[in-house]
Amino acid sequence: GGLELLFSNQRKHQLFLPSTDENGRSANLAFLVRYLCENLMADKRKEMFVLDGTVRPGILVLINDADWELEGEDQYELKRNDNILFVSTLHGG
């Protein structure tokens, strides 16, 4: 098991998010991470996914198969049909 343990053992989620965050700004990856923690994470151990308000070290984030570092990390503005993948690089993923 990997990160899916935090999300009721579900490996894939199809989400329909608002186009803006709680402050009226375009929804970005930081908003998605908050949304996941507040709405989908069944496990209360959020620190296994988030550290200091962003995805913790040891979790690879891919945006449409590209490393999120190439896309602006958590400031990447989400677009319709984006595929966001979170992969734990610890304990084999």
pLDDT tens per residue, range 10-69: 889 999 999 999 999 999 999 999 999 999 998 888 999 999 989 999 999 999 999 999
At 28 the three-state DSSP class reads: strand
Rounded to two decimals, the pTM is: 0.89
Strand partners, 66: 63
What is 3-88's CATH topology?
Answer: Ubiquitin-like (UB roll) (3.10.20)
Q: How far apart are CA 33 and CA 76, in angstroms?
A: 12
Q: Are 48 and 1 in contact (CB under 8 A)?
A: no
Look up residue 77 and give its DSSP letter: B
pLDDT tens per residue, range 77-89: 999 999 999 998 8
